Structure 1
Amino acid sequence: MLNAKVETKWFQLFLVLGILIRVATGILNSGYLALDDYYILFFSVPAQSESLSLISSVQAVPEIRSLLPDSIIRLFATTAYKFGFDDPLYQIKFVFSCLGLLSGISIWIGYKFLKYLYPEETNPKNNYQAWVPLSGTFLLSLHFLMPLVSTRALIESMSAPFLLGAVFSASIYWKSGEWKQLGISLSLLAIASLFRFQVGVCAFALFSLVIYRSWKSKSFKDIYAFLIFSALLALITGLPDLIFRGTFHSSLRSYISYNLQHSAEYGTSPWFAYLPAILGVSLFPFLIGKYKGFDWKSEYSKFVPVIIFSVLFLVVHSAIPHKEERFLLPILPLLLILISPLCAYWRGIEKGRMSIRRLSFLIVNFLLLDLLCFFTIQNNTIELVRYLNFHKDIKELYVYRDSIPHLPVSYAYRDPLERYEYIESLDQNMQPKIQNFDPFKSCSAVLAVRKDYVMNGVDPDPPWILVGNFRSSPLEELAVFMNPNKNKRRASLYLYQLQLCKEK
């Protein structure tokens, strides 16, 4: 049996490493994962006013989103400003670091959850089951995706620890029937749903557990308790919208209405689109093998609530036409919990000898961890904005076609640009066609062109000269190479400025 003191030291090590790498990721990787992620920063950072309150300018928060995530980000940004971080970039780094610290709770919850499922007295000596809690802790701490996604301002990431806690309490209720745990599970699920409304579908998973237990015990008391708890939580979670927006659950109503009207505009994907993402997250090839002596039924009967929550979440999201991998982030910790017994099994089987499987798993995991956590995502546009932040003499920015989908202005604090326009072509002299443009009166103008356009001949001649090259991260460069049509917005950017201006 695993020595208790040794296990405690391993847990503490994984907890400390997980928190440290999250904070380091928040500091060293200032990028954002998606536009939804960026818009939270846009409305909450920079906090340039000391009068910025916890909930300030409610109208600035999009109607389709709850006030909770924006309030938390705004609080962190305001704190950073009061600590003397005037530059919005450092405010953003502070926000990401705080989120990383908070997300460390997932490591602790996951360990306690697995210790509950695998108590010491049931683990025979030298059995792999004794290592399941530590295997899960390792995954929640150092899995290549966890440090990055848990430090971003994404509503999906912020909901994940609460969903994990809800499933933990649901598992205790599943075994013991305690109403207290049922109430805790519902409460945590309600909080998770305030970050990501779709997480609310997991209430049906919890209700299915309640119905089954009620059927087995031939009593409806648990169903009544569930309905009463749900009604109270629905009332409580709708009050902020009623107070600050004037309508009960207005954000949820607006969110549903918006998606019914506009979801199709964001594109559609086949029902199985999430399967490759799940296999990638699990590093599935390293789990393939003959599981001799592994009792699948006995092992995974412990995880019935985890499986029901995860499967229902996946089925509902697979039925929705518009799909993005980040939508799976709330259940990422649950998926890692589910593969913990498999990882522990191979650790036990291959203990004491050289294991190509484990070595390859660790190499791939930590290589991806390094690339994802410590190389800035969306680096091309962020570096462009930072260049504009330090060159406040630039007043006009022209963009060749779709070279820049949007400009992340929250990463700079300067006067607005006087002109920000898209151009469609260059003339026969390889000069950008810009209406009402006088080079002798527009010495503050720059032109941004994406790398693929430059490689195809869109390279302005003098008096335009290259003044900046804002490169993508290595992983984004790989994504562009593998699928240029989908990821071309991540390609490097070239910035040109009039030579007439540079000579002055």
Structure 2
Amino acid sequence: MIAALVGYGYFASDDYRYALEPAWNLVVHGTSSPASGIRSVVFARIVAVGMQVAQWLGAEDPAWLVRGAYILLGLLSLTAIPGIHRLTCDRLGEPAACAASWLLACEALMPRIATRALIEVAAIPPLVWGLVFTLRAIDRRSVRAGVAAGLLLGMAGMLRFQTGIIAVCAVAYVLYARQIRVAFAMAGAGLAALLTQGLIDLETHGRFLASLRGYVAFNAERSSSFGEAPWFTYLVLLVLVTIPPLTLWLVRPIWDAARAHALVSISLMVFVVLHSFVPHKEERFLFSAFPLAFVLIGAALAHVRRSVRTAFWLLNGLALAVATLSDGQHSIIDPLRDARTERIVLIGGFEAPAIYARGIPIDRFLTPEDMRLMPLGSRLITYADRAPMELPDTLRCGPPQLYRGDFVDRALLLINPKGNRRRSAKVAIDCVPR
């Protein structure tokens, strides 16, 4: 709740473009069509419910409508906690299950990303419960549990397409356990979810599975254009979650837990390996699979000596306080909220969340040379590290105003400067006719 109320930013531009903006258009303007055809519209409509509740309570400021969505998504994310407890306890025991549950609730990044990284984290509850029912279907040879697992994993895939990788791993694991009838039940239920998504796309975009096809084509053709990162980027992120140098004490018990819980470890491994082949990498792409890592780390924490466990939770608590009280993307949101000019002009190729501009028109010029075409009475926003630009003599411009991201934005920029370029500091300059 604190993380949801502390701010009004978002984690990544995709969370704005494919969730907040379509939901805003639906609530404020009554238009239900999303801005793009490469994400499912299902999630945007869930976000719209949170905004509608905030609007019903009297909120009008865009920031408070956004907070309404964050509160709803944060509450929904809590439903994954009993799921990860069951998922862990079934194979690794009660102490490991308790540690994994606390990690899902209180790992340093979780409260923040549970209310900010909307698209990735929204898929976690159905994903976790889908794996729970997968184990139940195997242990009880239950076709009914297999159907539930397939539907839940399919629902996770509708919210975040990449989680389909884990769904395929789950079906393969059931086949390996020689539960043929259960595997067919899971696959059939998953295909039913896929069919549902296809029909939604047919209604929304006029083409069966348009969003999934568009998403795959977009990433296959344009992934590299957003910047490339080394193949080991996600391995580094997973190591950071274990809080080095405490990682040294956790490696062996994590390995033991991975051997004991093959469904979780294999699904996590395949998910990470396949994502590592994609040139463009961002830490948020791994968020949907964080619960799988928490299962293994939780088991490790349950078996290390008490001093290591205490140090882990103390350091995590410090990072948790910083991350929970922070808010992302303010280097671009705040210059829009502060604008009092007739127009806003962007230079630098980045996108701006228009809902925060309160109706002020936004021009997206890409190069400094376009400044000569800048309308009069405008607020210019650009990257702070760009070379100073020569402004037209016809304008009288005020001093530059610097807008920085918060501590977490700066840390993510340091970890992955190419993938997180949009989080860097911006400069705003207000200009009026002479």
Range class of TM-score, shorter chain: 0.7 to 0.9
- Partner SS, residue 409 of structure 2: helix
**Who is 1:64 aligned against?**
38
Q: Deviations over 1:427-457 (max 9, x none)?
A: xxxxxx942679xxx4x3333354334xx76
- Partner SS, residue 123 of structure 2: helix
Distance 1:275 1:227, change over 3 A: closer
Show the 5 A alignment for 1:383-402. 383-388=334-339, 391=340, 394-399=341-346, 401-402=347-348
Instruction: Find the aligned partners of 1:173 and 1:211 in 2 and give their Cα distance.
Output: 12
- Out of 382, 404, 407, the residue aligned to residue 474 of structure 1 is 407
2:90 paired with 1:84? no
Show the 5 A alignment for 1:21-36. 23-36=1-14
Write the letter of the residue equivalent to 1:369.
Answer: L
**Who is 1:43 aligned against?**
22
2:273 paired with 1:315? yes
**Who is 2:351 aligned against?**
406
- Quote how far apart the aligned CAs of 1:423 are: 5.5
Segment of structure 1 superposing worse, 95-104 or 222-231: 222-231
Show the 5 A alignment for 1:98-497. 98-117=72-91, 130-152=94-116, 154-214=118-178, 220-289=180-249, 299-346=257-304, 349-350=305-306, 355=307, 357-388=308-339, 391=340, 394-399=341-346, 401-402=347-348, 405-417=350-362, 421=365, 424=368, 434-435=371-372, 442=376, 444-453=377-386, 463-466=396-399, 468-478=401-411, 489-497=422-430
Instruction: Find the aligned partners of 1:473 and 1:34 in 2 and give their Cα distance.
Output: 14
Instruction: Find the aligned partners of 1:199 and 1:379 in 2 and give their Cα distance.
Output: 29
- Partner SS, residue 246 of structure 2: helix
Instruction: Find the aligned partners of 2:432 and 2:188 in 1 and give their Cα distance.
Output: 71
- Quote how far apart the aligned CAs of 1:230 are: 4.2
Instruction: Find the aligned partners of 2:147 and 2:426 in 1 and give their Cα distance.
Output: 52
Instruction: Find the aligned partners of 2:384 and 2:162 in 1 and give their Cα distance.
Output: 37
Segment of structure 1 superposing worse, 327-336 or 61-70: 61-70
Larger radius of gyration: 1
| TM-score normalized with structure 2 length | 0.87
Write the letter of the residue equivalent to 1:84.
Answer: G
Q: Deviations over 1:274-298 (max 9, x none)?
A: 1101111232531423999x7965x
- Partner SS, residue 430 of structure 2: strand
| TM-score normalized with structure 1 length | 0.76
- Partner SS, residue 84 of structure 1: coil
Write the letter of the residue equivalent to 2:344.
Answer: L
Instruction: Find the aligned partners of 2:90 and 2:412 in 1 and give their Cα distance.
Output: 40
The answer to whether the 8 Å contact 1:282/1:336 transfers is: no
- Partner SS, residue 60 of structure 2: coil
**Who is 1:18 aligned against?**
none
**Who is 1:12 aligned against?**
none
- Partner SS, residue 200 of structure 1: helix
CA-based RMSD of the aligned residues comes to 3.2
Q: Which runs of 5+ in 1 are unaligned?
A: 1-22, 119-128, 426-432
Instruction: Find the aligned partners of 2:186 and 2:396 in 1 and give their Cα distance.
Output: 71
Write the letter of the residue equivalent to 2:248.
Answer: I
The answer to whether the 8 Å contact 1:46/1:410 transfers is: no
Write the letter of the residue equivalent to 1:30.
Answer: Y
Write the letter of the residue equivalent to 1:24.
Answer: I
Q: Deviations over 1:228-270 (max 9, x none)?
A: 4444444344332234444332222232333333334334444
Instruction: Find the aligned partners of 2:251 and 2:397 in 1 and give their Cα distance.
Output: 64
Instruction: Find the aligned partners of 1:437 and 1:64 in 2 and give their Cα distance.
Output: 32
- Quote how far apart the aligned CAs of 1:111 are: 2.0
Instruction: Find the aligned partners of 1:319 and 1:290 in 2 and give their Cα distance.
Output: 27
Instruction: Find the aligned partners of 1:249 and 1:117 in 2 and give their Cα distance.
Output: 37
Instruction: Find the aligned partners of 2:60 and 2:276 in 1 and give their Cα distance.
Output: 43
Instruction: Find the aligned partners of 1:452 and 1:233 in 2 and give their Cα distance.
Output: 46
Q: Deviations over 1:198-220 (max 9, x none)?
A: 21122321222222222xx7xx4
The answer to whether the 8 Å contact 1:469/1:493 transfers is: yes
The percentage of counterpart residues that share the same residue type is: 25
